[in-house]
Structures are given as C-alpha cells and as structure tokens.
Structure 1
Amino acid sequence: MTERQRRFTAARTALTLFTALGSLAGTALVGAAPASGVPGGRIAPGVTYEQFDIQGAQGTAHGHLLRVDLTDPHVTLDLLYPGQVAARDTVSRLADTRGAVAGVNGDFFNITETQHPGVEVTGASVGPAVASGRTLKAAVPNGQRFGPALPPGTSTEDVLGMGVDRRARLDDLALTGSVRTATGNFGLGGLNQYALPVNSVGAFTADWGSVSRVRATCGTDTNRAAPCSTDTHEVTIKGGRVVATADTPGRGAIEAGTTVLVGREAGAQELRKLATGQPVKVRHRLVAADSKIPYRFALGGYPVLAGGQPLAGLDDRTAAVRSAVGIGDGGRQVLLFSLDGGAAYKGLTIAEIADTMRELGSVDAFSLDGGGSSTLVARAPGAAGVTVRNHPSGGAERAVPNGIGVFTTP
C-alpha cells in the first residue's frame, strides 16, 4: 500500500461508512440528449466524444465526455498552458495554439485579490504543474488555495498526470530544493507559486512570467486573507552569482537562466546575508510520492475516487458546474468530463461527481476547477480548430491557467 493509499484509508476510517456511501445516492446516467447541437462520435484515433443527461439530487445535469484510449500509439496527453505560469487564456485558444484535438480546463487558480487591495492578481494555479516533462511550478500551502474545501487526506500537492510510460495516474508531487552559498545552505520553500510558506524562500524563473511577485508574501499557511508580510527580501541570481538585491519583491520578465529568490520573515533574513557578486547555487525538483516513472505532464486539483471507492467526506450538498478527469484500465483509459453550464441544467455535488465518474468506468477520478472555468473543447474531423462543446456557466469561456490537452499524430 502506498503512502497516499494509507492516507485515504485512514480518512475513510475516520468517518462512517454511511457517510462515505450515502452521499453518492441519487445520480444516474439517463442516456444521450444532444443539447449543444454538436454530434458525438469519433474525434480522432483513440478519442471519442459523447454527451448525456445525469439525474442528480437537485435536478437534471448534462455531461460532456471525452474518452481517450492511450493504448492507441497515435494519441497522447499533455498540459495546456499559455507559456507562463502567471498567465491565463481560454481552453479553446490554448488547444488551438498547441494543435490539440480536444481538451478540458485544469487546476483551480488565484482568481481574485479582494483581500489584498493593490496586490496584483497572478492568475497562477494552485497545485504543481509539469508540461512536456518539464517542471513549471510547485504547490501553494493548503490554506492558500482557491476552491472548495479539500477532502480529508488530500492536499494541494495532489496531482493527476501521465508518465512517460503513457499511463495516467494519481500521485503527490512535493518540492525539494536548496540554496547553497559559501556561508551556509538553506531550504527552498517554493517554485513559481503565488503563495510561499511563512518563513520560507521561493524561487521564480522565466517560466513565471512578468506578473508581480508581491502576492507570494501575502497570507499565511492557514489563512489566505492574512495581511502581506512586512519582512521581505529579494535576490536575483544570474550566472551562479548574486547580481541584484531589493527589500521588496519586484515584477517584470525574468531572463532565461536567471533565478529570483523571494524570502519572507526568516527566509528574508537568510537572503539579506547574500551580497552582490556572491556565488549561489539553487536546486529544485518535484518528488513523486508513489510513481518512479517520470511525468510527461501533471496538474493539480484533488482526488474524489481512489481504487474504485469514493473518498470519505466528499461534499454532498453543494451542487455546481464542475469538471473532472477519470482513469480506468490501469491508466490506459482517460475520461475528460465537464458539466454543461446552460440555464436548462443543474450542477452536481462533488459526491455526485465521484459517483458519475465511477459509473462511466473510472477507477480513480480527480476534480478539476469548476463554475465558470468548466470548459470542454473538441475538434470535429476535418475542422481547422476546436469548438466548445459545453455551455460555460458565465456565458463565455473564462481564461484559465492550464488544462489537459489531447494530441494525435498521423
């Protein structure tokens, strides 16, 4: 049994079996009901699209589903993102820019800063992100996440990803890193993330983008709304040496090969020891809790189904438009799912999402961002670009930080 399986088992034991299973009653797939005017069927080799009604506790929801067969050597998955961690774009533009044949929105993200007036919104995602085998970012502290409450036993480090073995899986990706200097070494607490742990140092690279780094020093590990730290320091490393220092985090594009270190509280105190010209070596990587197979892509969210069983403590009261991804057949089958946000339809609770994904054939399932972010796109055979298959609840596509793209080769 893996560490994450032990966590889920402990969480289930902590709650009654009645709570874990009773929350799933009431959902049922009731057959195809083409409301969007777009027919279902084969999108590309190994990729099919379908839509159907789902009877939930609060009324009829409408689901849009992409089935991806990873046993087909001509189909694969990768992260969709705008080229910068702190940037956003619509799923359809992200898919068309990369040449994806289909996709769905991804992780929850830093969508607003009403609690920190004057602080620039980063738009960066909550969890870790890996694109085309390259690490982009690590996870913010649990208390700094945007989105619904996490189920027991889960964290912002939870990911869904696909390894270089072309199998999808659930896992945890934790950051490990260090800053080494001639006068001493200290750990790294963040990588290209909109919130750093209290008393830590975070690294920002060219992957971050040009957005202000101030937000990284706001809030605490348990309270996203807590004030921004007044004890901060920033150091720029280029060519293995300190080239600039500042008392407050800055903004603007970071050159390739350059790392900006941002510290708060005790982390700021460590950075103040570094002088211009001093040699510094920064190392960082994401470490998987379970898989020894490197990831081709990974993104954050949270699990709702593991080993064919729903996680304990899933919300069974709040219905909303949602997106999710399911895994079956030992990681060879992936189901990308999004609800329709049209006025004619209701949403589903997280517990109902877990039930629905299991009914569709998933053994493991993972919740993605929902509400106005929920978007599923697919390209009709012979078309030049993708079309949005569901109706986003905001009336138009929302710009998001990332998503899951489906790619095919001849």
Structure 2
Amino acid sequence: MQAMKSGTCLNPWIGSMMGLGIVGMTLGATISSRQSAIALPMQQDQTSPRLVAPLAQLPASLQGTTITVGSTTVPIPWERRGDRLGMADLPLMTHLGLDLQDSTTPDQQPVLWFADEADMLPTWFSNGYRFLDITAWAAQQGWQLTPNGTNLRLQAPSGTVTAGRRGKQVWGDRLVLDVDRPVLWSFDEDATSFTLTLQATPGSSFDPALLTTGEGNELNSLTVATSGGQMQIRGTFDETSRPRVWSLPNPHRVVIDISQVDVVPREIRWAPGVLWQQQYLTVGDRPFPVHQIWLSLSDDTRLEPIWSNANQLPGITPLKTMAATNQAYVAINAGFFNRNNQLPLGAIRRSGQWISGPILGRGAIAWNPQRQFALSRLSLTHTLTTQQGNSFTVNHINSGYVQAGIGLYTSVWGRTYTPITDGERIITVDDNRVIQQTPASAAGTGAYAIPPQGYLLVLRSFNSAAQSLPIGMTVALTPDLRPPNFANFSTAIGGGPILVQNGQIVADAKAEGFSDAFAAQAAPRSAIGVTTDGNLILAAIHFSPGGRGPTLRETAEIMRQLGAIDALNLDGGTSSSLYLGGTIINRHGSTVGRVHNGLGVFINAPQ
C-alpha cells in the first residue's frame, strides 16, 4: 500500500475493493495540498550526529507489556536498549494507529501517521516480537516516554477536535473527526464494539450530534464523551463487520470505517525468511479475504509444532497464548482435536518423535531442515510382540481417537493417563517389561502413572489380550509407518483432507474419514502449502464480505492461486487463527476458539 498523495482516494483500503463494486466516499472532506500551519515540537537536535551502538548488540535494559495513554492502558510490549526504545509493531498499529506500509526489507519498516509520506523506523527482534525503534520519531512528534515498572507512560501534545461527521457508504459506515494537529489516540475493540480515545478536547464548533445521530449500515450505536482532556467515542456494530481507524494529513483527520470489507492489502517483509501478505482472492464470483505468511525455512527460520502445555498433551488454549508462551514469532492453528476432552486427533511429530500419531489415514505434511517436504495420507501402527511369540496390533499412539483394541501412551502424554472410555485395562510397561496390570475406573476418572522411560498399553474391549501380558513378560514394539519415507522427516503435522497434490486439486474429505457434513461445510479455513521453489505458505481464509466462508474445494483453489503445488487443510471454523508478532491478524481475538496445537515459527534474527 503506497503513501497517499493529494487527489487520491481517501481510503486506499476501500479503494482497493473497487473491482468488487465497493467505492470509498469522503463525506465532504477535502485533501489540501497546503502545508500544515502547526509546527511539531522537537525534543532533540536531529542534525547533531551521535554515536549509537548497533541495536543488535544492546541488551534489553528494560521491558514491559503495557503502555498508558492518558487514562487508558493498552497491551503493547515495549523494550528499551541503551538509549533506544522500541514498541512491538503490530500491537502498536492495532492500538495506537501507526499504519505499517509495504516493505522489502525486515530491518526497516515504513509507517504512516498523519502523513503523506512514510517514515522509516529501524527494527529489532526479541521474545517473539518485532520492535520498532521509535526513539527519534517519537521525539519529532513531541511524545514523552516514561517507563514505570512494566508499564510505559506516553504523553503527547493534546489537540482539539474541530468537527465530526458520519455517513452511510455502499460498503458500510464512515466517521470523520477533524483535528487541529496530529493527536495521539488509543483504540480497543471486541467482537461487536469499539472504543476510540483521543488525546483531544472538543472545540467550540464541534457538535457531537453530527456523529451520534442517524442510522448506519453496519454501525448500530455511537456515543461521545469528554473527560480529563480526552474524548472517547464508543460504537457498536454488526458481528460480521470490523472497524478500522486511520489518519490523514492536510487537514488532519481521524477516520473510522466500519465495514465487512475489512482486509487492508499488505506485503511486508517482516523478518528474515518471513513475508506477510493479505489480500482478497476470488473463486468464481466470490471474493475471500486471505491472510498469508510465506516462509523460507533455514537454520535461522524454523517451523515446529507447538501445543498448549509443554508438560502434558491434554489441554487447549488460545493460539495467541500458545505462541507467546513458546516465544514463537508466527503461529497458525494446526491439527484437529476433541474440544470436549481436549485431546489431539491427528499426527504431531517434532524432533523425530511422535508426539501424537495419525488417525484414519488422514493427510499430513512433513518437512526437514533441508527444506524437503512430503505430503500424503498417513498411518502409523505398532506391532507388540511378547517373548512367548504372541503379537498384537497397537492402533494409535498418544491419541484422543479411540476404538476397540490397544492404544499406546508414552511420557509425552504427561505424567499420568486418565481413561478416555469406560472399562479400560491398563498395562504398565517399563524397560520393555510388563510391571503392572490395572482395571481402570470410569472414563474421565483416575490418574495412572506413565513411566518416564516406559509406556502404557490401554486395552479397550480387548481384555483377552491381557492374558498374554502377565507381569514380568518382556515385550517389544515395532512401528509400521506408511508411507515409510515419512520416517526421514523430523517434523510433521496432520490435518486433512489433502487439498492440492502435485498441482492438482484433491479435496476428498470422505476418503480421509470425514463426515458428509464436514465435507459440505463452508467455514473459515486454515491451510499450509508448499510452492515450487520450496517455500511454505501458512494461510487463513475467512468469510467473504457479507457472506459465507470457503468450502474445501474453494480453499484448494485459493491455495493453488497462491502458487501451492501441495496443500493440506488444517482445523478451521472458530479454530482458524493466524498469529504474527503478538497479534491475531485474520480475525478479532475474541472470536477465536481455543486450540490444542499449532505450528510456530522460530527466528534466530539479530536480537
């Protein structure tokens, strides 16, 4: 997205959708080519050269998680290194309105704030965030930054709101506030409401009724309140819409758009090996918002499965929490799970170890540090052999999917195992020897210890096998992985169905054991794909404006449009979430369900 020039469309976000018949309107505001008469105070002499140590070599002398503007505190991680101060870029954009522009290098980020031309801010990486060095830029704006523990107080020159207006647009609703100078604001939203707090007071000509009166297309209600040198605007809107706040210069304006067309086209080289893109892609006559992270894996950019609790496999948590806990810079939700008992339902493999095994021969994707990939329907069973020569098939490993037979649970599952079904019999094996047989209690009750160097065999409707597994019996497990070449890959994740294989659309849900209802569903989707040049695409696809989510086949077509020659569907619906630098970028966080596992991107970038 380019910096706006005089005479261009007021909103390049809406203007980009003109091909869909959606046109931005200005509500009578004009763009003037004259320079602002307001002089911005300078806090330091920008012409005097200073010797500053390279950011990558400066330790983080102070860190925090919140910033207070006026009486409002917003969640923005910040970090001070030497005499430089950085703020996490996506939370900064979300809450304080610095608009990130397209970029071609990760160490410099162009931003817009009440300006026609973007300013370039240096970056550094730490603890899962990309920080923008705002030291000199903030001084130019007259901001004062005061750390207080883990909070940073931000003070800026106050302004005056001289006028306000609202109008219904073909694409939604627009609110415009005229201000006498660039003013700091903070913004917060949930699924159906927003609060905009400006460090400004109303001027004598400001009439709040021009904002609060009238019907909206997407806007349901609006209130304006003033207190303590701040103006606060609260609005409610339909759950299919999203608000966006942005600024314009000459004259200075703050604009709030509420629309179902909520994706700003972006192409930002965010980190080494990481490209952030978002756009609308059309299948048939229906446009879908597609948020993407493109990855070029290397020793410095790794993709690994993550899950909610490092000490046990059962459990679910928001992807944002999971990513932050693991200090991942990027994350996407991954495999399926049972939301009721919070157990995994698909393949998870990390560092050559099966964390959870595949089920029902569903699709899985695997990769290794050499940027080699494999995509196939996957199965894994084990043959259990006793010293007496008896053998049994072990159906699944560390899985919430149960059927009659034998399940295998290792210490990766956790310290203990709780029965999933009634009537289970638990065989404890340590050092390849049966040491205990236990009739289990009812499903969901009891906790049975898993030996750190052993495992549990859980017999379900198969008590006859217990006779061949008396205490003291020596046993051995032999894996049977199909296709066998997946053993050559240290990392894998399961999902399904396979969307694209060798450039051809597959999307055969029934062949992978999914229900007819699942196969026909139109819903938000997450997917992973591989391109011809060996890059990975992590994609989240949401509702078409005012309409439905994509079907599996439409998702496959979108992945192929992006250039994927192989692609796998991941868990979708409320699970579909794409995380970047502390922020869920494909939807509002309050609409995201908790998930069992995801894929995290770990970057060895300059710290």
- Normalised by the shorter chain, which TM-score bucket? 0.7 to 0.9
Q: Flag the 1:317–1:243 CA change in 2: closer, same or farther, 3 A.
A: closer
Equivalent residue letter for 1:96: A
Distance 2:347 2:269 in 1: 32
Q: What SS does the aligned partner of 1:61 have?
A: strand
Equivalent residue letter for 2:529: G
Equivalent residue letter for 2:349: V
Distance 1:316 1:55 in 2: 21
Please point out which of 341, 361, 366 is paired with 2:563.
361
* Alignment correspondent of 1:21: none
Q: Flag the 1:109–1:293 CA change in 2: closer, same or farther, 3 A.
A: closer
Q: What SS does the aligned partner of 2:553 have?
A: helix
Q: Flag the 1:241–1:312 CA change in 2: closer, same or farther, 3 A.
A: closer
Distance 1:355 1:390 in 2: 19
Query: Which structure's relative contact order is higher, taking Cα pairs within 8 Å and 6+ residues apart?
Result: 1
Distance 1:38 1:387 in 2: 17
Assess if the C-alpha contact under 8 Å between 1:188 and 1:284 holds in 2: no
Assess if the C-alpha contact under 8 Å between 1:87 and 1:401 holds in 2: yes
Q: 1:274 aligned to 2:469? A: yes
Q: For structure 1, which segment, 296-305 or 166-175, has the greater mean C-alpha deviation from structure 2 after superposition? A: 166-175
* Alignment correspondent of 2:426: 234
Q: Flag the 1:178–1:292 CA change in 2: closer, same or farther, 3 A.
A: closer
Q: What SS does the aligned partner of 2:412 have?
A: coil
Distance 1:124 1:58 in 2: 39
* Alignment correspondent of 1:194: 400
Q: Which runs of 5+ in 2 are unaligned?
A: 1-18, 21-101, 103-259, 510-517
Q: 1:139 aligned to 2:354? A: no
Assess if the C-alpha contact under 8 Å between 2:428 and 2:450 holds in 1: no
Q: 1:127 aligned to 2:346? A: yes
Q: 1:245 aligned to 2:448? A: no
Q: What SS does the aligned partner of 1:363 have?
A: strand
* Alignment correspondent of 1:324: 527
* % identity of equivalent residues: 25
Distance 1:261 1:290 in 2: 24
* Alignment correspondent of 1:178: 383
**Cα drift, residue 102 of structure 1:** 0.4
Equivalent residue letter for 2:590: G
Q: Flag the 1:312–1:98 CA change in 2: closer, same or farther, 3 A.
A: closer
**Cα drift, residue 264 of structure 1:** 2.0
Q: For structure 1, which segment, 244-253 or 78-87, has the greater mean C-alpha deviation from structure 2 after superposition? A: 244-253
Q: For structure 1, which segment, 341-350 or 90-99, has the greater mean C-alpha deviation from structure 2 after superposition? A: 341-350
Distance 2:489 2:578 in 1: 23
State the Cα deviation string for residues 13-63 of structure 1 (Å, max 9, x = none).
Answer: xxxxxxxxxxxxxxxx98x99936796512210101111123356854311
Please point out which of 349, 353, 360 is paired with 2:551.
349
Assess if the C-alpha contact under 8 Å between 2:331 and 2:578 holds in 1: yes
Q: 1:80 aligned to 2:306? A: yes
Q: For structure 1, which segment, 333-342 or 366-375, has the greater mean C-alpha deviation from structure 2 after superposition? A: 333-342
Distance 2:280 2:264 in 1: 14
Q: What SS does the aligned partner of 1:49 have?
A: strand
Equivalent residue letter for 1:196: V
Q: 1:167 aligned to 2:372? A: yes
State the Cα deviation string for residues 199-255 of structure 1 (Å, max 9, x = none).
Answer: x2111111113675432x5xxxxxxxxxx6x5x421112233333222226535524
State the Cα deviation string for residues 74-97 of structure 1 (Å, max 9, x = none).
Answer: 212111123233222222222222
Assess if the C-alpha contact under 8 Å between 1:138 and 1:286 holds in 2: no
Assess if the C-alpha contact under 8 Å between 1:38 and 1:389 holds in 2: no
Please point out which of 79, 95, 104 is paired with 2:332.
104
Structure 2 counterparts to residues 196-211 of structure 1, below 5 A: 196-198=402-404, 200-209=405-414
* Alignment correspondent of 1:308: 503
Higher-strand-fraction structure? 2
* Alignment correspondent of 1:41: 268
State the Cα deviation string for residues 121-155 of structure 1 (Å, max 9, x = none).
Answer: 1x222222101221112123x3xxxxxxxxxxxx3
Q: For structure 1, which segment, 239-248 or 350-359, has the greater mean C-alpha deviation from structure 2 after superposition? A: 239-248
Distance 2:551 2:433 in 1: 51
Distance 2:263 2:585 in 1: 7
* Alignment correspondent of 2:493: 299
* Alignment correspondent of 1:62: 289
Distance 1:185 1:213 in 2: 27
**Cα drift, residue 301 of structure 1:** 1.0
* Alignment correspondent of 1:406: 601
Q: Flag the 1:265–1:204 CA change in 2: closer, same or farther, 3 A.
A: same
Assess if the C-alpha contact under 8 Å between 1:339 and 1:347 holds in 2: yes
Distance 1:290 1:261 in 2: 24
State the Cα deviation string for residues 329-365 of structure 1 (Å, max 9, x = none).
Answer: 25x2100001236985631111110100000010011
Q: Work out which of the two has the higher radius of gyration on C-alpha atoms and give 1 or 2.
A: 2
Distance 2:306 2:601 in 1: 9
Count the aligned residue pairs.
Answer: 334
Distance 1:346 1:298 in 2: 31
Structure 2 counterparts to residues 143-154 of structure 1, below 5 A: none
- TM-score normalized by structure 1? 0.72
